[in-house]
A and B are shown apart, each in its own frame.
Chain A
Amino acid sequence: MHGSWLNAMNNLVALLRKEFTLELRRKSVISGIGLYLFSLVFICYLTFNLRQNVISPATWSALFWLVILFSAVNTVAKSFIGEKPGSLMYLYMVASAQEIILTRIIYNFILCLLLGLLGYGLFTLFVDNPVADTSVFMAGLVLTCLGFSASLSLISGIASKARNSNVLMAVLSFPVLIGILLMAIRITKNALDGLEAAASRDEMLNLVGINVISGALSYLLFPYIWRS
C-alpha cells in the first residue's frame, strides 16, 4: 500500500517534469502567451487613455481579472486542444487518467499563477498599482488560479473532443468560472481598499469550497473523458 502510493508520487513528479521540459522546449508557445498578455494590458492602457485618465479601483480590479481570465482560458485551452494524437496515445499507455488530470491541474496552476504575477507586474507598470494589502491580494490570486486550473483542465479535455474546440472552450468555461471570478473581484476590491484580512474571510472560504468541489469533480470525472 505504502509502496504503491510512493510509486504514484514518482509517476506524478515524472509527468510534471515531462510537461515542463516539453513546455520549455516549445519557446514559441511561451512567448506567444506572454505576448498575448502584454497586448491585452497594452490595449487596456490605450483604450482607457491612461496617460491622462485615472481609473477607479473597481475598474482596475475588473480589468485585471478580465485580462487574467482571457489569458488563462487561452493558455489552459491548449493543455488538451491541439495536442498531437500520438502524444495523447503515448500518455494513455504510460499513465492513469487520475495521474494525468492531477499533473495537468498542478501544471496549469503554476502557469496561471505565473500569468497572474506577470499581469500584475504589467498592470503596475502601465496602469497603476492601487493594491493596499498585498498579502490578501496574493492569497486571492493563488486561490483563484487554483480554481481556474481545476475547472479549465477538465473543460479543455471536453472541448478538445469537439469540432469547434476553441469557441467551445470559451462557451463552456465562462459560465462555470463566473462564480470564481466574482469572488476574486470581491477579494481584490477589499485588498484595494485595504480592509483587514478578516473582511475577506467569507469570500476566501467560498473560493476554497468552490476549488475543492471543482478539483474533486475534475479528478472523478476525467477518466470518463479520457477513455475514448
Chain B
Amino acid sequence: MKLWMKVAAVVLLVYVHTAGLLWDVPRLDILNESIRAVYFHVPMWFGMILLYCLSVYYAVRYLRNPLEEYDIRSVEFAHVGTAFGILGLLTGMLWARYTWGAYWHGDPKQTGSAISLLVYLAYFVLRASLENQEQRGRLSAVYNLFAFAAMIPLIWIIPRLQSSLHPGSGGNPGFRAYDEDMDASMRRVFYPAVIAWFLVGYWISTLRIKIRKLQLIHINS
C-alpha cells in the first residue's frame, strides 16, 4: 500500500468525522439526526462487499495458480470483510433501535446481511477443519467462489422483492430520494466516507497479510 493512500485514509476519516458530526443534514421525518448513520453505517457495507470481492479475486487466482500467497490474501481480505460486516450489522442495529424501535426488526436487509455473514463464518469453519495446507487453500477457494455467487441474490434480489422499511427501498425516505432536491452536501461527506473506510480496510488487510507472510518465513526457516 502506497504512503499517499494511508495519508489519504487518515485525512479523509478526520474530515468525515468532523463534517459528518457537525455539518447540517436535511431534516426528514422519522430519520431526523439519525440520518448521519449514512456516513458510518453504509460505508461498512460498501467496504465489506469490496473486500469480499478482493477475497474472491484471490480465490480465483489461487485456483488458477496455487501459490500460498494468494491463499493468504484471500483469507485475510475475508477476515477484514467479515469484521466490516459485523460492524455494519451492529451500527445498523443501533440505528434501528432509535428509528424502528427494536434492535432486530426482521427486515429483509437485516436477514440478508446476517446470512452473508453466516456464509463467511462457515468458510472459516471449513478452513479450520482442513489440515493439509494445499487442500485447505483449494477447497476453501472453491467454497469462497460458490458462496459469494450464492450471496449476491440474497443481498441484491430478495430485499427488492419484499417490502422493506429500510431507507432507500419502497416509499421510505432514503439517500436517493432526497439527493436531488436537497443540495449535494451529504454526498460531499458520503463518498469520501466510503473511500476512507475502504482504504482503512485495505490497510488493515495488507498489514495482516504481511504478518502472515512473516510467520510463514519463520516456520519454513
Residue ranges of A at the interface with B (Cβ–Cβ < 8 Å): 151, 154-155, 158, 161-164, 168, 171-172, 174-176, 178-179, 182, 186, 202-203, 206, 209-210, 213-214, 217-218, 221, 224-225, 227-228
B138 touching A178, Cβ below 8 Å: no
B172 CB to closest chain A CB, in angstroms?
A: 21
Bound-state Cα–Cα, A77 to B36, Å: 47
B87 within 8 A of A: no
Bound-state Cα–Cα, A148 to B53, Å: 25
B122 touching A158, Cβ below 8 Å: no
Question: Chain B residue with minimal CB distance to A182?
Answer: B158
A179 touching B135, Cβ below 8 Å: no
Question: Chain A residue with minimal CB distance to B62?
Answer: A224
B131 within 8 A of A: yes
Q: How large is the interface on B (under 10, 10 to 19, 20 to 34, 35 or more residues)?
A: 20 to 34
Question: What is the count of residue pairs linking A and B with beta-carbon distances less than 8 angstroms?
Answer: 86
A176 touching B135, Cβ below 8 Å: no
Given contacts A158-B139, A221-B145, list 13 more A-B pairs with CB under 8 A. Answer: A155-B146, A161-B130, A162-B130, A163-B129, A172-B122, A174-B118, A213-B149, A213-B150, A214-B146, A214-B150, A217-B145, A224-B63, A225-B142
B207 within 8 A of A: no
Contact A158/B142 with A168-B125, A176-B119 known, Cβ cut-off 8 Å: yes
A151 touching B143, Cβ below 8 Å: no
Specify which chain A residues have a CB less than 8 angstroms from the CB of B30 in the assembled complex: none
Interface residues of B in 125-148 (CB under 8 A from A): 125-126, 129-131, 135, 138-139, 141-143, 145-147
Specify which chain A residues have a CB less than 8 angstroms from the CB of B116 in the assembled complex: 175
Bound-state Cα–Cα, A176 to B145, Å: 12
Bound-state Cα–Cα, A218 to B147, Å: 11
B147 CB to closest chain A CB, in angstroms?
A: 6
Question: Chain B residue with minimal CB distance to A171?
Answer: B122
Bound-state Cα–Cα, A104 to B135, Å: 22
What are 27 A-B residue pairs whose CB atoms fall within 8 Å in the complex?
A154-B142, A154-B146, A155-B146, A158-B143, A161-B135, A162-B139, A163-B129, A168-B126, A171-B125, A172-B122, A174-B118, A175-B122, A179-B115, A179-B153, A179-B158, A182-B158, A202-B161, A210-B150, A210-B153, A213-B149, A214-B146, A217-B149, A221-B145, A225-B138, A225-B139, A228-B135, A228-B138
Specify which chain B residues have a CB less than 8 angstroms from the CB of A179 in the assembled complex: 115, 150, 153-154, 158
B28 within 8 A of A: no
Residue ranges of B at the interface with A (Cβ–Cβ < 8 Å): 63, 115-116, 118-119, 122, 125-126, 129-131, 135, 138-139, 141-143, 145-147, 149-150, 153-154, 157-158, 161
Bound-state Cα–Cα, A171 to B123, Å: 9
Bound-state Cα–Cα, A203 to B116, Å: 20
Question: Chain B residue with minimal CB distance to A216?
Answer: B149
Bound-state Cα–Cα, A164 to B126, Å: 10
Contact A172/B153 with A224-B142, A225-B138 known, Cβ cut-off 8 Å: no
